Chains A and B, each alone.
Chain A
Amino acid sequence: MPANRFNAFTDYGIGIGLRVPHYRHILERKPVVDWFEIISENFMVDGGRPLEVLDRILEQYRVVQHGVSMYFGSADPLDRTHLKKLKALVKRTKTPWLSDHLCWGSVDGTYTHDLLPMPYTFAAAKRTAEKIRQVRDYVEVPICVENVSSYAEFHVSEMTEWEFLSEVVELADCGILLDVNNIYVSSKNHGFNPYDYVNGVPHDRVGQIHVAGHTKFEKYILDTHDHPVLDPVWKLYAHAVRLSGVTATLLEWDDKIPSFQEVHDEALKANEFIDGARAAKKPAPAAASR
């Protein structure tokens, strides 16, 4: 049974990102993994080895697509060529849902390849929600939008980031990929309480959660995905799972990537918090017998 209204995949378990250094290990040893998240753009190609590897992975594993360049928040209209390639990939992977970021990153066809923060305005929320609806209607799978980590805020913002996220997902009627590491990173960079953020989003829309590591600098934190998950992020994760229910969870590790086993072991630490959330939901035996 779904843990919440937008979470049809409560029991999807714990996944990890499919990354090149692990290909050989996965294909040869076929380790047990609940699911893999792929970066859609890495496989939105016309042929060759990437698609061969993907097809072999699909024979053995469940795959969920995660995008990095749809740029729902860009003022520009959606790129039809991009959408066609994405839809072709969706058909190939049969991804049960699709995620991308609540951000922008291109203007007039020039791509920054970054996940740039939004100005938190009502006009931007409306435009972003429109584009999310357009993508969902075109690719015909549910969409979850992910909060990004950020290092700057705009003068023109009219609300908090979590209010903006809530406004967008309500207008678009879509799910949330809640990245608790990004919340933590942004909370340190902008000086807000990360628990206010997690408490403030609509929990019935959280369809997936990301955890990851980050890097601390003297005056700010960067979202580098090159470390194990830090304790404050796990604590935030535990809080999010308590509020949203058990949710498909993924560990991102994208740089200085260690062995497959090390990455998977780190991801499986989430089980401890999921078990805690399940236990908290169960009625006490005495109460149940009444």
Chain B
Amino acid sequence: MKLPARQRTTRDLKSLQSLMTATLVRPLTRTNRLQGRWTDGRTMEAVAASFIKPNDRLTSFERLQIYARCYWFRLLDSFYDDCPGLRAVLGEKKFMRLGEAYLAKYPSRSFTMRNLCSCLEKFIRAEPRLTAPHTALARDVVRFEWAQTVAFDGPSRPALTADDIADRPPTRLRLGLQPYLSLLALDYAADEFVIAVKKEGELSGDASNTPVAAPQAAKLRRAPRPKRGRVYVAVHRHDNMIYYKRLEPAAYRILRALRAGRTIAQAVAHVRGVTPENLGAWFKNWVELGWFCRLT
């Protein structure tokens, strides 16, 4: 891409911004430097010098590199904070390699870094070599950790009360589930694992700042990787605190059916071995937790 010598239009501005963005989002070398060559074979020194002025202390390359490092350190820092469980599954080195590969494939597409890990499970599924031999566990842990993000600040709708749904025929009653509620069928007990590795009371700053170094290994509690075993988990919030709740397989299936738009009668029709008392208790509890809302 050759930039115009003078900028006269918004298109010229866009050309410059596109080039600079492309240089920043390109992965750094192992020593956190800009790569030596640009995509067209030119040296990075030449590319940087084509649009950035040097000064008496720093070359154009070095000045561009400050921004590239800030970009990668900032995003990796956020990735690091968002995924303590995945970090514990993979170990620090493998986790950081995964993070770099993931962010190279899926740079941020949102104004907030809250959404940085929204494609992570998809990426792990597509690139299992990066998490082998713990890919299945890694996927479950990522799903659980993303569900926590959704539960933290996802949207909510007015909760239905018992009175709202009383006297409505189950054959016609369809219930919405709160958007912040995630229903997970996991092959590993990722819920207990993540809770075990998280340091209690860990807080992170969330304002704009300039990171000066790549994230350093933070202390995590050591927790053995869980053994394979199916669990069903609801991740939700109550009084704006995040909770997770184990579900019976039948309860999970009912909730999934409701989320798919089935009536209550349809949702419970194929569930075996559950007494009407159990069903009643589950629904009472779900109403108390505010999980039900009107369908949109």
Residues of A at under 8 Å CB distance from B? 17, 19-21, 39, 41-42, 44-52, 68-69, 74-76, 79, 82, 104, 106-116, 119, 121, 123-124, 127, 151-156, 189-191, 215, 219-220, 222-226, 252, 254-255, 257
Q: Say yes or no for B20: interface residue by CB 8 A criterion.
A: yes
Q: Which residues of A contact B25 (CB under 8 A)?
A: 110, 112
Closest 7 CB pairs of A and B: A46-B155, A75-B14, A48-B153, A45-B153, A152-B63, A254-B209, A254-B207
Shortest B245–chain A CB gap in Å is 17
A42 and B206 contacting across the interface, CB-CB below 8 Å: yes
Give the contacting residue for A254; candidates B154, B180, B203, B205; CB below 8 A.
B205
Query: CA A47 – CA B159 in complex, angstroms?
Result: 14
Q: Which residues of B contact A111 (CB under 8 A)?
A: 107-111
A41 and B13 contacting across the interface, CB-CB below 8 Å: no
Query: CA A19 – CA B208 in complex, angstroms?
Result: 11
Shortest B255–chain A CB gap in Å is 20
Shortest A209–chain B CB gap in Å is 17
Shortest B75–chain A CB gap in Å is 7
Q: Say yes or no for B274: interface residue by CB 8 A criterion.
A: no
Shortest A277–chain B CB gap in Å is 28
B7 and A20 contacting across the interface, CB-CB below 8 Å: no
B111 and A20 contacting across the interface, CB-CB below 8 Å: no
A156 and B6 contacting across the interface, CB-CB below 8 Å: yes
Shortest A14–chain B CB gap in Å is 18
Q: Which residues of A contact B17 (CB under 8 A)?
A: 74-75, 104, 107, 116
Kindly identify, within residues 7 to 45 of chain B, every residue whose CB is under 8 Å from any CB belonging to chain A: 7-14, 16-18, 20-21, 24-25
B155 closest partner in A (C-beta): A46
Q: A124-B13, A215-B212, A224-B209 are in contact. Are A155 and B153 (CB under 8 A)?
A: no
B66 and A152 contacting across the interface, CB-CB below 8 Å: yes
A113 and B209 contacting across the interface, CB-CB below 8 Å: no
A108 and B18 contacting across the interface, CB-CB below 8 Å: yes
B66 and A220 contacting across the interface, CB-CB below 8 Å: yes
A190 closest partner in B (C-beta): B55
Q: Which residues of B contact A252 (CB under 8 A)?
A: 207
Q: How big is chain B's contact interface, by range?
A: 35 or more
Shortest B100–chain A CB gap in Å is 16
Give the contacting residue for B208; candidates A39, A44, A50, A109; CB below 8 A.
A39
B240 and A114 contacting across the interface, CB-CB below 8 Å: no
Q: Which residues of B contact A255 (CB under 8 A)?
A: 205, 209
B71 and A114 contacting across the interface, CB-CB below 8 Å: yes
B112 and A154 contacting across the interface, CB-CB below 8 Å: no
B71 and A112 contacting across the interface, CB-CB below 8 Å: yes
Q: Say yes or no for B67: interface residue by CB 8 A criterion.
A: yes
Query: CA A110 – CA B154 in complex, angstroms?
Result: 22
A152 closest partner in B (C-beta): B63
Can you list 22 A-B contacts (CB < 8 A)? A21-B203, A44-B111, A47-B154, A48-B151, A48-B156, A48-B180, A68-B208, A75-B13, A75-B14, A107-B14, A108-B18, A112-B71, A124-B13, A153-B52, A154-B51, A155-B51, A219-B57, A219-B58, A219-B62, A224-B209, A224-B210, A252-B207
Q: A153-B52, A156-B51 are in contact. Are A222 and B212 (CB under 8 A)?
A: yes
